Amino acid sequence: MIIFEGCDSSNVSSIGYCKYTSVLSVIFSNGGTYLYFGVSDAIFDELKISESKGKYLNGIKKYYRFTKLVMPGTQEEQHAQ
């Protein structure tokens, strides 16, 4: 289960982490939600205390597989088909 916590960030609304699956979940201020796979507890802890969540996440996406969640019935889903 992923428990989200709010962020003091202009780009990131909230972050969450599941230690059982090593999945980091990020909800951006624009509404986009991404899952990052294989992320360690230590990386999540560093993200939480980083000065710039956006800059830290730019580094994470270079090293971890990720996917954007698309909600059914949205324009994003229609463009993805």
Quote the pTM value.
0.84
Measured between alpha carbons, how far is 36 from 4 in angstroms, rounded to an integer? 14
Phi, psi of 41 (to 5 degrees): -55, -40
User: CB burial class (10 A; 0-12, 13-18, 19+) of residue 36?
Assistant: buried
Q: List the alpha helices (DSSP H) in 1-81.
A: 41-49, 53-63, 75-80
Residue 79 has pLDDT above 70, yes or no: no
Q: What is the pLDDT of residues 35-64, one digit of tens each?
A: 999 999 999 999 999 999 999 999 998 899
Residue 24's H or E segment, with its range, is strand 23-28
